[in-house]
Amino acid sequence: MMDPYMTKTEALLRQGKAILDSRSLAMRARAPAFSAMARRRKLMNLEARYAEVSRRYEMLRAAGTAGVADLKVGLEKALDTFRSEIGWKP
């Protein structure tokens, strides 16, 4: 059984993935060449931010009791950065 923090964080991670997937579909739509390159760069940046959040979540989930506070702070910062980049209002 997970604690409430991890349950909430997992739900936020799923929501973030769903938002990223919907943005991905919109960004992959046909567009002029100059716009397509910019969209692709933005999409790659968003995917990298999500991967960082996911990686930090997995590190926290796998951690024992040592260093949990630092891992939580890192996860929160990564999640805040992802939210601001994607324009996600909680």
Q: What angle do CA 24, 30, 31 make, to 5 degrees?
A: 100
pTM for the full predicted model = 0.82
Give 64-90 pLDDT, tens digit per residue: 777 888 999 999 999 999 999 888 776
Q: Which sequence spans correspond to the domains of the chain?
A: 4-86
Predicted confidence at residue 56, as pLDDT, reads 94
How far are the Cα atoms of 9, 35, 83 from residue 12, in angstroms, in the given order?
5, 30, 10
